[in-house]
Amino acid sequence: MSDVLASGPGFATDRRAGRSDPSSAPLAERADPTLRRGEPAEAADRAVSARRAVAGPLAGGSGPAGEAVRNLPQDFIYDTEHPVLTIPFKVQIDEHRLEGAGLSVAAASFRIGGALAPTWVGRKQIIKLVFDFPGFTVSLFPEAVVTGSRHEGEMTLQFMDPAGAHLPQLRYIMNSYIAGDVASMNGMLSYTGPLHPKAAKSADKGPRKLRIRGAAAGFFSLCLIIATSSVLVQRLTQSHELRPVFVERMGQEMKATTAGQISYLNPEAKAGEVVFSVNSNTGDILSFKMPCNCEVAVTDGVFVGATVLPIDPILSLFDSSVGIRVQTQMSIEGLGKAMNGERAYLDLSDGRSVAIRVVVTSATTAASQRGEPFVPVTLQPAAGSLTAADIGKTARLRLSRPWIPGPLARALE
């Protein structure tokens, strides 16, 4: 039977009331009061046709708007627009209370225990959605229309106004169910969310924490500003020369005057004796005498048979005094900065920084006139800043640009 809601046992008998559950009645009788049991099928069809003929113009309205409404599908926009949740709930239509199967913000489905009678499709009325919690019940009363069924044995109701007055409560229940604050057990909902609002923070602790955080943030910001400023100042005001600086003992050098090969070398020679000889490339033998009875230090890499070029140092002569000599090669740009008033410092390998003065010699002038990029210079440290213990150490030459140039800077020193 196509006009019967459930063709088999789908609803129980209400024994407390002493009557059968109305939901087990044929759907045609519940949809149209003019139909009664026992009436012939032809009479039932004529009654339904008459009722539809009368209600047809009223359902769609008149004019273009009513025609557009009649042409829209029943499930327009709502078919798969919103997810369906299996929340335990019940639907009450008139006096019939049915078990819910699926719920969304736009529609609700419930079980009817059999096939849906076609006469129910399009029926509109206010329904009652019931959510049972331990100790209380939440009831919502939206207006809905029967649109059909999703599955066999189900009826789907579409809310006429999904954004109506029932929406906030329905959305809260569904969101709580999704978040896990509402759990289902044996067809009953249970709320597991927070029961009390969060305690307000102490008023006296808030400003104190803010002050501590502000002080910490200010301190770290200040440290960052100081570090950044120090790097910027160093980049802008200081520069280092590329060539290393050597701290040596002050003495006189004896150099080769021609290119050739060393044929004789006697570091222990006395004054007036030959100290070394060079066989020149022209075949001549050049001998050099010891000028004094002093200490002799042979240059590294010099031995009998070694080849030399002009002005190559062969040995150094030292008197009884211990003097310090600092020599290096500076770039033309660095020499120009030193001549223009930038301060020169000697940064030793042991961490000390010694103020020095750049001295230009004849070798410096000759190298600069030849256009060489690096020229030899002599560095004169302050008296007593370097001792005999510093001989043999290496250092770097640093040039510093003063913030206050001119006589005022010298006065502040």
Q: pLDDT tens across 236-286, in order?
A: 878 888 888 888 877 788 888 889 999 999 888 888 889 999 999 888 899
Mean pLDDT of 101-109: 87
At 97, which amino acid appears?
Answer: R
Yes or no: domain 1-31+73-194 corresponds to CATH 3.30.70.890: no
Q: Is residue 141 scored above 80 in pLDDT?
A: yes
At 364, which amino acid appears?
Answer: T
Domain borders along the chain are: 1-31+73-194, 32-71, 238-247+322-412, 251-318
What is the share, in percent, of the chain residues with pLDDT greater than 90? 8
Evaluate whether 334 touches 313 at the Cβ level (below 8 Å): no
pLDDT interval class at 94 (50, 70, 90): confident
The tokens of 154 are what?
Answer: 């189900």
Yes or no: domain 238-247+322-412 corresponds to CATH 1.10.10: no
From the list 157, 149, 14, 153, the residue with the least C-alpha distance to 92 is 157
Mean pLDDT of 150-162: 85
Q: pLDDT tens across 293-305, in order?
A: 888 888 888 899 9
Q: pLDDT tens across 341-359, in order?
A: 888 898 888 888 888 888 8
At 252, which amino acid appears?
Answer: Q
At 326, which amino acid appears?
Answer: V
From the list 333, 314, 317, 335, the residue with the least C-alpha distance to 325 is 317
At 160, which amino acid appears?
Answer: M
pTM check: above 0.75: no
Instruction: Work out the burial of residue 313: count CB atoms within 10 Å of its CB; fewer than 13 is exposed, 13-18 middle, 19 or more buried.
Output: middle
From the list 192, 105, 191, 175, the residue with the least C-alpha distance to 140 is 105
Which CATH code fits 251-318? 2.40.50.100
Q: Is residue 44 scored above 60 in pLDDT?
A: no
From the list 334, 343, 350, the residue with the least C-alpha distance to 392 is 350
